[in-house]
Each structure stands twice: as structure tokens, then as C-alpha cells.
Amino acid sequence: MKEPKQHFCIFGRQPIIDAFKAGKRFDKILLLKSWKSDEMTEIQKLALQTETPVQGVPKEKLEAVAKKYLQYQGASHDGAIGFLSIINYYSIDDVLHDVYAKGQTPLFIVLDGITDVGNFGAIARSAECMGVHALIVPAQGSAQINTEAMKASAGSLKHVLVCREKSLLTAINYLKTNGIRIYGTEMKMSSEIAKVDFTVPCAIVMGSEGNGVSKEILRACDERVRIPMVGKTESLNVSVSTGIVLYEALRQRSI
């Protein structure tokens, strides 16, 4: 019998617990809202220990997800669905230590509110090509790193490191204390990228197309930067913008 395609999902409370204990890691876990049990409590405990996002959802949402991914009869979500991570996550501290040990100049991309998997994958592709040491993403409110994201990245997600943080603001402040200059992309009252020094250890913050970088994150940045444009279109796709900024960073570092 052909094994059903489950898109890196694990269904059921006990199977998720067993996967955690076997060393598996999840991108996120959906739990049936208001359903309490010892297994649910253990899942939440294990998720907290591994900094795995957990979302309580109504039965209708869980049923819809199960219908999308379960391809055979007789299976049940049992109140819990876990999306297995297809990549490993790294700590910022470990990445920094490795970069400095190799005598390299750190270059990070911080993604604030990037939820589209296509854009995320394309950004990862540019990041890997342009020498970015790691992508930094929030545990909540970020694109799921799934097979679609992997495809959009043309496999680059196998090579570029990803750091998943509870708080982007905390992560940014940690980078600053370690000598990393923070550049936030923003259209107004900002410096053109050609006039910004990307040869120093730095992190570039990219925001969503709809809202841009959040005000809280912008206030924490050392400098705000922008891509000069002459057309009537107000903005570029975020993955395109990331590629342009990273090209400038690579150009300066190659001189």
C-alpha cells in the first residue's frame, strides 16, 4: 500500500508527544481550543521548552486543515496537528560565534511580518546567493517554512541558516550589544542604500509590503535606509527589495 502524503504533518496528541521525545521539531502546532487533557498539557510544555509556536483553533479550523492534508480514510487529528520543521533552527549566539571564528563580517536579514511563503522562499534564495549568514524570524507571525517555501527558495533553505526568536526586538537589542549595526528599511526620512556602510557587521530589517517594518522595531534601528526609485509605483515586492539591498551590501563588501 502506498504511504499517504502528509506534507510533514503529524496528527494526534500522542504521536506529537512521541515525535517531540524522539527529537523532532515543529514549525507550529494547532490544538483544539478549550480542549483540556493531560496530553494537551504535555504538548504545551514540550512546545514551550523548544520554543515552538502553539495556536488554539476552533474545531472547524482543525477539520479544514485535516481535510487538506489527510489523504486516506480512518485517520483522525484527535484535537492536535503538528507541522514538522523541514529545516534546523539555530541560535543567534551560535551563528555569531561561528562567523567571528571564521574571521568574517556578520550580515543578517531580519524579517518582520513576512507571512507569504513565496516571498520568504525568494528572500532565502537571495540571502544565500549574497552571503547572508542567517535569516532571523519571529516565532509568531512569520511564513511557515514548508515544502512551498523550500520550492520558492530553489533549495536555498537547505543552506542558509534560520534563527527563530520569541521577540524580534529582543533579538535586535542582543545583536546591537554584540556590535551589529541595525538598518531598518523605510521609505521616508531615510538614507539611500548607496550612502550606507554595509561593510560593517550589520543586520538589515525587512518589513511586510502592507505595513513595512513595525514602529517599535524601527525605533530600535541605528539607521533607516531606502532604495531610490523614480517611477510612479510606490513600492517594490519585498523579496525584490531584499535582493536589491543585498546586492548593494555585497557590492560594497567586494570592493
**Residue of 42, 3, 5, 4 lying closest to 20 (CA atoms):** 42
pTM of the prediction? Answer: 0.85
Model confidence at 180: pLDDT above 70: yes
Taking the C-alpha atoms of residue 10 and residue 81, their distance in angstroms, rounded to an integer, is 6
Q: Is 227 helix (H, G, I), strand (E, B) or coil?
A: coil
Model confidence at 51: pLDDT above 90: no
Taking the C-alpha atoms of residue 252 and residue 255, their distance in angstroms, rounded to an integer, is 6
**Residue of 71, 51, 67 lying closest to 59 (CA atoms):** 67
Write down the pLDDT at residue 185. Answer: 96
Higher pLDDT, 135 or 148: 135
The two domains 9-84 and 92-254 share their CATH topology (first three levels equal):
no
Q: For 89, list phi and psi in degrees, rounded to 5.
A: -105, 150
Model confidence at 160: pLDDT above 50: yes
Model confidence at 141: pLDDT above 90: no
First to last CA, the chain: 58
Domain ranges of the chain: 9-84, 92-254
Q: What topology is assigned to 9-84 in CATH?
A: 60s Ribosomal Protein L30; Chain: A; (3.30.1330)
Share of the chain above pLDDT 70, in %: 95
Do residues 4 and 10 make contact, with C-beta atoms less than 8 angstroms apart? no
pLDDT tens sequence across 94-117: 999 999 999 999 999 999 999 999
Q: How far is CA 199 from CA 69, 104, 105, in A?
A: 46, 11, 8
Count Cα atoms within 13 angstroms, Cβ side, for 157. Answer: 25
Q: Report the pLDDT averaged over residues 201-219.
A: 94
Selected from 3.30.1280.10, 3.40.1280.10, 3.40.50.300, 3.30.1490.100, the CATH number assigned to the domain covering 92-254 reads: 3.40.1280.10
